[in-house]
Amino acid sequence: MASKAFHGSCHCGSIQYLVRVTLPPDTTNASPFTPGTHIYKCNCTTCHKAGFFHLRPNSASEDFLLLSPNPSELGDYSCLTKQMHWYFCKTCGVKPFCGAGGWVKEEVDVNAWKGEEKRDGEGKKKTAWKLTTKEVEIEKADRKIKKEVLSLNVNATTLDARQEGLDLREWHEKKWVFYLDVLDFDVSSYKEGMPMPAMGFEGPYPGGMY
């Protein structure tokens, strides 16, 4: 398994990002809650109505770069516990990624980050934004709790086409995609130790899609 960086964007091009993932993913440890690259679809109304095809990199802070615009210029939709932010382009409406955490600005050698060999005239650093851990207050059904959060999922449908090593058809054909059953899962009432939602590679659960 090799790590590779892919470029993504919204439809109008205002949002530009890079994500670094390992393909093929480790399908023996498939879960959005475990380390590693994961590819999945969820049948909850938030994901389903957004047409979100989840691509989760191994590290939310190290394997994702927002190149443009400044995060403060992104549209931001939150629901339920308000922990996850569904970012969207204010011009074309596309949702390229969702995440939880805070943003930090860094000067990054993008070519080195992508693992490319340095060529003459390259290696200059560019401004980019990374996600970092942030403490938030989450409203549960019976209480409010403080929790440190950090997560990032790219909407794989916003990865730019015709990139070497990227073929979304292959992900289905090789059964790299797993499915979550969260349609009736009460996130606000969940407590540590409770059963997690069902998940599997066989196909989407009721209310979901291939």
Tens digit of pLDDT for each residue in 137-186?
Answer: 777 667 777 889 899 999 999 999 999 999 999 999 999 999 999 998 87
Element (H, E) at 107: strand 102-108
Q: pLDDT (tens digit, 9 = 90+) per residue, 88-100?
A: 999 999 999 999 9
Rounded distance between C-alpha atoms, residue 10 and residue 184, angstroms? 30
Q: How far is CA 104 from CA 66, 97, 153, 164, in A?
A: 10, 17, 17, 29
How far apart CA 200 and CA 178 sit, in angstroms, is 5
What is the model's pLDDT at position 120? 58
| Residue partners of 57: CB distance under 8 A and separation at least 6 | 19, 20, 21, 37, 63, 64, 152, 154
Token duo for residue 154: 């790219």
Q: Is 208 within a domain?
A: no
d(CA 56, CA 95): 15
> For residue 136, what pLDDT is reported?
81
Range scoring the smallest mean pLDDT among 18-32, 44-58, 59-73: 18-32
- 163 in a domain, yes or no? yes
Whether 64 has a pLDDT exceeding 90, the answer reads yes
Q: For 34-43, 116-125, 168-177, which range has the lowest pLDDT when averaged over its residues?
A: 116-125
Spacing of C-alpha 125 from chain mean position: 24
Task: Quick: pLDDT tens for 187-200.
Answer: 666 666 778 889 99
% pLDDT > 70, the chain: 93
Q: What is the pLDDT of residue 2?
A: 77
Q: Tell me if 205 is assigned to some domain.
A: no
Position 203 scores a pLDDT of 96
Which residues, listed in sequence order, are joined to residue 169 by a DSSP beta bridge? none
Answer for the pair 151, 34: CB distance below 8 angstroms, yes or no.
no
Q: What is the chain's Cα-based Rg? A: 17
Which pLDDT band holds residue 121 (cuts at 50, 70, 90)? low
Distance CA 191, CA 156 (A): 30
More confident residue, 33 or 120: 33
Evaluate whether residue 23 is within a structural domain: yes
Q: Tell me, yes or no, whether 206 lies in a domain.
A: no
Check which CATH number belongs to the domain holding 141 and give it: 2.170.150.70
Residue 69 has pLDDT above 90, yes or no: yes
Give CA–CA dist 9/97, Å, rounded. 10
CB-count exposure of residue 195 (10 Å: 0-12, 13-18, 19+): exposed
pTM reported for the whole predicted model = 0.91
Q: Which domain holds residue 69?
A: 2-115+124-200
Q: Would 186 be classed as within a structural domain?
A: yes
Distance CA 56, CA 32 (A): 7
Q: How many domains, in total, are found in the chain?
A: 1
Report the chain's mean pLDDT, rounded to a whole number: 92
Instruction: Give yes or no for a contact between 130 and 65, defined as CB atoms under 8 angstroms apart.
Output: yes
